[in-house]
Amino acid sequence: MSGQSPKKGPLSAEQAAYYASGEEADRLTVGVGPLEFARTQEIVLRYLPPTPAVILDIGGGGGVYSRWLTGLGYDVHLIDASPVLIDRARRLAEKDPTRSPGNMTVGDARQLDFPDNFADGVLLLGPLYHLTERADRIMALQEAQRVLKSGSVIIAAVISRFASLLDGLSRRIDDPLFDRIVEQDLHNGQHRNPTGKPEYFTTAFFHHPDELPLEMADAGFFCERVLPVEGPGWLVQDFPERWRDPQMRERLLNAVRWTEPEPSLLGLSAHLLGIGYRR
């Protein structure tokens, strides 16, 4: 177990209230969420070791990915900073025990209650944008490295520096307060929402695509690559209609896959995944 003692909790009061509100409960099933979910699944399976392998889903919220991976035969452990989301994960597990993760605990990504060299893979799909200070993000990455076996993979998610700007343009948001949020995002990545509107998200850090590999390297990982999740696909105006049509859905996914290797387009994606390995 890590000897580090974080000075404050992983979630601010505002962040905790945001997740307790249930705002994120169905995020991956509405709007452009299905694209994020499908692409994340596609990339995760590309890099995780075969089953049965031990996977830590750190910051896994209500356990959407934990239940999916458990159903595939992985030995999954779910950790999240929100007691509300962990309670939700436990209730869902009671309804379908066959997809219940090995354990579901409230925890801090910066101080994990797992021994060294425990896991064959780590999903870090939330903490890096909720920890707004770089030192805390490095601490979370170092903890992930500690619990990983040598040579094992981490898949770490961040939100793109340009996500608010592109979201506002695609949704035609006409709000001077939102413009101020976007301006600060672009200036330093520190996303703040003083409006009280949950659709503008909560306190977070939005990464420039060049920053994630540097943070991973500073934590001791070899960062193999950074991949776009949604790519440009989330910006189409008629997304729900396209997604409902199987042929149009595949064309949309192919457009994202075809542009995946192009680094100049990384910032177009709302989410990015850093693929790294413990040295």
Rounded distance between C-alpha atoms, residue 189 and residue 133, angstroms:
11
Quote the crossing angle between the two packed helices 163-170 and 176-188, to the nearest 10°.
Answer: 150
Rounded distance between C-alpha atoms, residue 186 and residue 163, angstroms:
9
Binned at pLDDT 50, 70 and 90, residue 25 comes out as: confident
Rounded distance between C-alpha atoms, residue 225 and residue 154, angstroms:
11
CA distances, 14 to each of 113, 133, 180, 192 (Å): 25, 16, 19, 10
Residue 7 is predicted with a pLDDT of: 53
Average pLDDT rounded to a whole number, residues 150-165:
98
pTM: 0.95
Average pLDDT rounded to a whole number, residues 47-59:
98
Average pLDDT rounded to a whole number, residues 152-176:
96
Count of other CB atoms within 10 angstroms of residue 116: 11
Residue 2 is predicted with a pLDDT of: 47
Output the average pLDDT for the chain: 94
Residue 245, SS3 per DSSP: coil
Task: Name residue 209's amino acid.
Answer: P
The yes-or-no verdict on residue 8 having pLDDT over 90 is no
Residue 233, SS3 per DSSP: helix
**Beta carbons of 229 and 273 less than 8 angstroms apart:** yes
Indicate the DSSP class of residue 231: G
**Beta carbons of 62 and 85 less than 8 angstroms apart:** yes
Q: What percent of the chain has pLDDT over 90?
A: 88
**Beta carbons of 104 and 134 less than 8 angstroms apart:** no
Residue 46, SS3 per DSSP: helix
Residue 175 is predicted with a pLDDT of: 96
pLDDT digit string (tens) for 89-98? 999 999 988 8
Backbone angles phi, psi at 236, to 5 degrees: -65, 140
Average pLDDT rounded to a whole number, residues 42-69:
97
Query: What domains are defined for the chain?
Result: 13-158+206-278 (3.40.50.150)
**Beta carbons of 124 and 158 less than 8 angstroms apart:** no
User: How do the residues of the chain divide into helix, strand and coil, expressed in percent and rounded to 5?
Assistant: 45, 20, 30
